[in-house]
Amino acid sequence: MNSLLTIKEVSEILRVSEKTIRRWTYNNSIPYMKLGGAIRFDERQIQIWLAKKSKKREKRFEKEIARLRELDVSEELIQKLIKGKRN
């Protein structure tokens, strides 16, 4: 079984506040479980969740770049945006 994390541990890993983690659990935005009333997070499920979010973010960025190209934004400016995102 993967290790179970507390709200505090997940907030430290994701570098967000504990309040944000609680809000995400309330909104069912993050995978979690309740054990005896305590909220816990399966470490592997959090890793999978992060990977999915990263892929979605990358697809959105690619769509935005394509839209800028359709609008004839200069390639120089587009490359600056791409470089800025990757740094």
pLDDT tens-digit map of 34-77? 999 999 999 999 999 999 888 887 888 888 888 888 888 888 88
Instruction: Write the single-letter amino acid at 80.
Output: K
Question: What gap in Å lies between CA 66 and CA 4, rounded to an integer?
Answer: 41
pTM, rounded to two decimals = 0.67
The pLDDT of residue 3: 92
For residue 15, the 8-state DSSP code is: T
pLDDT grade for 85, boundaries at 50, 70 and 90: low
What kind of architecture, by CATH, is found in domain 4-86?
Orthogonal Bundle (1.10)
Rg (the chain; Cα; Å): 18
Q: Is the dihedral of CA 42, 8, 18, 86 positive or negative?
A: negative
Question: What gap in Å lies between CA 57 and CA 51, rounded to an integer?
Answer: 10
pLDDT score of 2 more than 80: no
